[in-house]
Structure formats: structure tokens, C-alpha cells
Amino acid sequence: MEKYGLIGYPLRHSFSIGYFNEKFKSEGIDAEYVNFEIPSINNFMEVIEENPNLCGLNVTIPYKEQVIPFLDELDRDTAKIGAVNVIKIIRQPKGKVKLVGYNSDIIGFSQSIQPLLQPHHKKALILGTGGASKAVYHGLKNLGIESVFVSRTHKADNMLTYEELTPEIMAEHTIIVNTTPVGMFPKVDFCPNIPYNLVTPNHLLYDLLYNPNVTLFMKKGEAQGAVVKNGLEMLLLQAFAAWEIWHK
């Protein structure tokens, strides 16, 4: 029996284990998917060594960046992003193992947002600077869209603070993507601190969160006539992509 799994800490909100085990059951695939809740990335190689039938892993916070030094290879987009959420485990002769890192977030996000894009969507604001924000940045770049990161503090040149979101910047950047956890269940009464009064029907507000189904960020966008979307489809698409990566 093949084994797949997820590494992260903590793993209270794991979509993958339910999705993949249901897939295996419904399609008659002789495999199982398990959670590996490891308190330190230093436990990563133990997971590989103690599970000889392990064929692939998903990676979630806080290890998307920390796992990279343990890998033998990264695909091109993943190397640019600097964050991994899929690992293909290639078993070689004499017990050797090759670990290749991929990022299916970039695939899921790009495929999810592309049908919503209009000719006036030329520039984007990316709220947050974590691993997911990097996948969003490169996904948008591949779609021909310029992006600027927004953070609570000014950390780099290609970055604005929330206080710097002027009417001019809001009018110019008609895509706003929330990659932060602000607004996720149970703290559903919170949202990123952007000037929602400057959001227009030309804007597209995309929230990587999907619990709740409609976040306060999305509600405030809708109230201004903006197109809104949550991250559930992205989650499904990146799971499809992970399965394809493990089997290519």
C-alpha cells in the first residue's frame, strides 16, 4: 500500500487528509493519507526513514520554507518562490531517496483567478508576506500582472504598509489578494485593514481563506460592488496538482 501525508504543526485544520482518503476510497486506489504532526523540522527525515512506502508529502505551515534545505531538488517556479508545499519522494536503488520540492499553490491560484481577470486588471496588492504570498506573486507575474506586497511594517522596497494605501494606489491596483490568516474562523469579525471605501466595482478581491465561506474581507468588497472569491477552489486545484506531481 502506498502512503502519502502532510507535515506541519499544528494540523488541526487539515483539508488534505479527508480529501485524499476519500479519493482513494472512491477510486479504489490502494493507498492511505496520514498526518505527520512534527514539532520541529528536524524530525522531517525521521518521517521519510520510518515510512518506506511513503511516496509523497504535502507541506503546510510552518515548514514550507524550513523544509527546503532537506530537499535534493526544486522545480523552477518553486525555486523562485522559495516555498514548498509538495514533495515527491523517489525511491532509488540501495535504499537511497531523492526528494524533489514543488509548489502547487502557484498552480491552484493561477488556475482559480485566471477566469475572473478582465483587461483592466493590470496591477495587484498582495496582503501579507508569508509563503503563500510568494506563490501568489509569481502566479500573478506569470499571468502578466504586476504586484506589490502590503505589510504592517515596511520590510522591503517592493512593499507598502496599510497606511500607505492612498486613493491613487487603490485605484491603480484593482486586484487585492488576502494571503494573511486575518478573518479565519473563529475570528470571523476581523479583516485586513485596507480602505474598503476606496474599493470599486472594477476591483477583484480574492481571499485565500475558505473558512468561513464568505469572509469579512469579501463582504466589505461585495458591499462596494467588487467581484469576490474565496480560496476553496484554489485548495481543490492545488490538491489535483499535487496528485499529478506525485505520479508524473
Q: Which residues are catalytic?
A: 64
Contact 180, 170 (CB under 8 A): no
Q: Where are the alpha helices (DSSP H) in the chain?
A: 15-27, 44-50, 76-81, 104-113, 131-142, 167-172, 216-223, 232-247
Nearest-angstrom CA–CA distance, 74 and 96: 18
Nearest-angstrom CA–CA distance, 217 and 189: 9
C-alpha distances in Å from residue 104, one per residue of 49, 209, 233: 24, 16, 13
Q: Nearest-5° angle of CA 29, CA 30, CA 35?
A: 100
Nearest-angstrom CA–CA distance, 236 and 248: 19
Contact 174, 225 (CB under 8 A): no
Strand order through the sheet with 97-102: 31-37, 2-8, 54-59, 86-91, 97-102, 73-74
Single out the residue of 218, 224, 219, 216 nearest to residue 197, CA to CA.
224
Question: Which three cell numbers, joined as nine digits, stand for 144?
Answer: 502578466
Query: How do 86-91 and 97-102 pair as beta strands?
Result: antiparallel
